[in-house]
Amino acid sequence: MAALEILKESLNNERLQRQLSRIEPDDPQMLKLLPARKLADGYYDWVMYLLWLRNKMSAGVEFGEVFADEAEGITAIALATQDFERDHPQCPACGERGYRGMRRCPNCTRELN
């Protein structure tokens, strides 16, 4: 669940960054802009660690040992990524992600299949 939430949050990352850049770091409004999460922070930290680990392994970095919980977590992230990509397909022209069933790209307005 945490991996899928992080992936969905990435859809609004540019908008969120623009909004955060307009306010001061100690402004109480900042907390209101952050997405509400369903799970405890530790789950998201674990997903970020597993994403880091997966990326390092994909780049050819060898680790002496990968533990079972890490392997299971990387598998769960792969499944969450598949769900995310199915529900938020990329426009073949500009790469912007939309939502399943959209007829036109939200960015370039190209007709989607």
Q: Is residue 82 part of a domain?
A: yes
**What residues make up the domain containing 70?**
2-87
Q: Is residue 110 part of a domain?
A: no
Q: Is residue 57 part of a domain?
A: yes
Q: Is residue 76 part of a domain?
A: yes
Q: Which residue has the higher pLDDT, 31 or 84?
A: 84
Q: Is residue 68 part of a domain?
A: yes
Contact present, 112 and 98 (Cβ < 8 Å): yes
Contact present, 98 and 105 (Cβ < 8 Å): yes
pLDDT-based confidence at residue 41 (cuts at 50, 70, 90): very high
Q: Is residue 26 part of a domain?
A: yes
pLDDT-based confidence at residue 80 (cuts at 50, 70, 90): very high
Number of domains comprising the chain = 1
Distance (Å, whole) CA 84 – CA 92: 16
The closest of 5, 75, 69, 7 to 41, measured between CA atoms, is 5
Q: What is the pLDDT of residue 39?
A: 95
- Is residue 31 scored above 80 in pLDDT? no
Q: Is residue 104 part of a domain?
A: no
pTM of the prediction?
0.76
Mean pLDDT of the chain: 90
Q: Is residue 105 part of a domain?
A: no
